[in-house]
Structure 1
Amino acid sequence: MGVAQPVNFEALEAQARTLLAVFIAAGYEAVAPDIIQPAGVFLDVVGEALRGRTYVFTDLNGEELCLRPDLTVPTCRLYLQRHPAADREAFYSYNGPAFRFQPAGAGASHPREFRQSGIEAFGDKDAGEADARTLVLILRALQQAGLGNWKLRIGDVGLFDALLGMAEMPDRWRRRLRHQFWRPEVFRAELKRLSTEPARSTAALPAALIEALDPDDVAGAEVLVSEHLEKAGIELIGVRSAAEIAEGLLAIAADAKAPPLKPEAAALIDAYVATRTPALDAAGVVRKLAGKTSDGLGQAIDAYERRCKLLVESGVDMSKVDFSAEFGRNVGYYTGFVFEVLVDALGPSSPVAGGGRYDGLLKAVGAPHDVPAVGGAVHTERLLTVVRGGKK
């Protein structure tokens, strides 16, 4: 054991040099983001699945910090340190450790400390071209590192958003479904509730209070909530404010008075998220499902088709690429194209690489506006295992 670890480290370092050489040659500057990060930034943007696996601690000054669970957010923060106005293009590459809690028995493919080698592009002018360039560069780096056979799974959160925009429903329901998209079982349960009993969420709440709330009177709702809390003897200490509670209750009250989601809208959403097809067939499948498309959905489909065309022109073997509408990875900040590189030796739960588009992330971590951005990262321990012919 004591001898094997240094050998493995040396092999990982050699592999990292190969990967970084490909990225740097393509114009991506090598950077080294901080390992220790402000916890609040991560916990706000990474999504529920990753939030619960982040190592969080408080330093002697009382500041809540975390060990970075990925390198994308730290690279975003580095970009903003250099360009506070977020008004320049920048292309970065990196290699370093990340940290995530793993349950007992997770296996060697899911260590608590692992390395990522990847790229991030900020401020790109052409989203489709940047998406294709990112994926092609990741595949080229994997090939240079010795990976031969692979499969690719792609998705498009933008297509899902456009489909939701076309369905007739309140905006709060769209936001709720979009928020739950990353958790398939919860998403299905929420879709079923909205299409059958949207008022079910009021069951455990004071009926008189819910009935008295007027969705058009936010200030009055806050007064009613404050009065209710006072009568019940409930103090707001270290929890949400009365205004925040009122906002949530107003949405619940509105649900209680709303008709269910129309069956045809629920069926369309359900059919879409169940779609799994060869990547080049996906646009036709979505068009057929939607029947008539809105401007937003039409534009999203056109963007998807152009991206596929660019991948074909770049030499990607599209016979090895599948589209999964439900696929969005387990990170909550993606807004468009997403991908994972899979190998048979590790299976679908242990991708060798992955990434996607995250146009809203820079603003969430402090930029004055949204910034187009896309990136991808290689899980280097998994890559080394496969290249050496190992199993899980």
Structure 2
Amino acid sequence: MTETDAIVALIALFEREGYARVEPPVLQPADVFIDLSGEDIRRRMFVTQDASGAELCLRPEYTIPVCLQHLAHRGAQPSGYAYGGPVFRMRPNESGEFLQAGLESIGRGDIAAADAEILGLALEGLGLIGAPTPTVKLGDMGLLHALIDGLGIAPAAKRRVIRTIVSGQDLASLSEADGPGNQEHAGLLAAIEGQAPQAAKAFVEDILSIAGIASVGGRSPGEIAERFLARAANRTVLSNDAWQVLERYLAIQGDPDQAAEAVRVLAKETGLDLNAAVGLFEERTGFMAARGLDVGAFSFAATFARNLDYYTGFIFEVQDPRRSDGKPVVGGGRYDRLLEHLGADSPIPAVGCSFWLDRIVGRP
């Protein structure tokens, strides 16, 4: 089977399940991907300009373009979409143009059922195009967010913690931001941490003005303010207790039932209210089992996080055990805030996945 044949077969399956085929334009506004995609995509984009000087990019993935198209035509109405075609990213020793297929479910309120449906269709689709028995990795950004919020971690520190986990680094790397320079100005850094950038910059410039400081080392007040903002953004501000709880959470792994039990034990012993997040996790597992999926064979790891910034809940990757590079053949998850960032009046629930066809079937 060729990649083109695989797209035809997958689209037919998804359309039978109620997902309408769409094909967003290849040229997309670059700023949207720069603001909302993960670093892995941002640094691999092919960027150009139109006649007016506006930056455009060749479509690096389908999720954002499908969401933009949905907002333009359907608003908040529930809809399902299937797609298949070329995407463009710079890849060492590989073609910058390759084929992807996938599906997106937008606007459904039955969160757990929609999550299970997407994973179920991903596995059914792999079987349809002749992929070998895969391994399934699960994660849950919703559990991580609930834990961090329960610990009362400040917004700036929360962003840094999540970036650290997504990039695969150990929490110990967070301490690198708390060197002598940051301790020296701890009071000012704490005052501006979490503020909107413009407000924080104005605050620092006012402090310098009150002190009668026009420049330091040749830097203007505005430049000095920018440096303080950068330091504030890198502050960890994790208490020892929060650190220990996060370390315990990140050590959790096992099948979904084992993971849920471990999180409930952690919540009980630390006094954190994680009932809503764990309840959704368990409900999703129940819907997976109801679809006939072998949830006992799935592997959950609290450290697992996909390298796109917009995921907010359930995430997964499907791997071909024959591949030695560990790269997924299918990846996806839930992104409930993405459409609001793209212009929706309020958050719209959404979940989807993409197939990396060049990793699954041979080219013609």
Match of 2:358 in 1: 381
Partner in structure 2 of residue 294 of structure 1: 272
Contact 1:56–1:65 (CA under 8 A) maintained in structure 2: yes
Between the aligned partners of 1:42 and 1:179, the Cα distance in structure 2 is 17
In 1, the alpha carbon distance for the partners of 2:116 and 2:181 equals 42
Q: What RMSD in Å do the two structures reach over aligned CA positions?
A: 2.9
Moved more, 376-385 or 355-364: 376-385
Distance in 1 between the 2:89 and 2:99 partners? 11
Aligned with 2:166: secondary structure?
A: coil
Q: 2-side partners of 1:211 and 1:269: how far apart?
A: 25
| TM-score scaled by length of structure 1 | 0.81
Paired residue secondary structure (2:265): helix
String of CA shifts for 1:34-53, please: whole Å, max 9, x gaps.
Answer: 11111100010012232112
From 25, 29, 37, the equivalent of 2:20 is 29
User: What runs of 5+ residues in structure 1 fail to find an aligned partner?
Assistant: 1-7, 105-109
1:125-177 superposed Cα distances (whole Å, 9 cap, x missing partner): 11111101111111111111122411100100001111111224334322321
Summarize the Cα distance change of 1:320–1:50 in structure 2 as closer, same or farther, 3 Å threshold: same
Q: Determine if the alignment matches structure 1 residue 175 to structure 2 residue 159.
A: yes
> CA–CA distance in 2 between the matches of 1:293 and 1:119?
39
- TM-score, structure 2 as length reference: 0.87
- Which residue of 283, 287, 293 corresponds with 2:260? 283
Which residue in 1 is equivalent to 2:85?
96
Asked if structure 1 preserves the Cα contact closer than 8 Å seen for 2:79 and 2:106, the reply is: yes
Q: Name the stretch that deviates more: 213-222 or 86-95.
A: 213-222
Residue pair 1:287, 1:293 contacting (<8 A) in 2 also: no
What is the CA distance between 1:273 and its match in structure 2? 1.8
- Identity percentage of aligned residues: 32
The 2-side partners of 1:337 and 1:251 are apart by 27
Which amino acid is 1:102 matched to?
R
- Do structure 1's residue 147 and structure 2's residue 125 form an aligned pair? no
| Conserved? CA contact 2:182–2:189, under 8 Å | no
2:295 is aligned to 318
CA distance in 1, matches of 2:54, 2:345: 24
Per-residue CA deviations over 1:298-345 (Å, capped at 9, x if unaligned) read 111111111011101100012321001111111111000001111111
> 1: distance between equivalents of 2:319 and 2:271?
32
Residue in structure 1 matched with residue 341 of structure 2 by the alignment: 364
With 141-150 and 315-324 compared, the bigger mean Cα shift is at 141-150
Q: After superposition, where does 1:171-320 map in structure 2 within 5 Å?
A: 171-185=155-169, 187-190=171-174, 192-193=175-176, 198=178, 200=180, 202=182, 215=191, 219-224=202-207, 228=213, 230=215, 232-234=217-219, 247-248=229-230, 261-290=238-267, 291-295=269-273, 297-320=274-297
SS across alignment from 2:311: coil
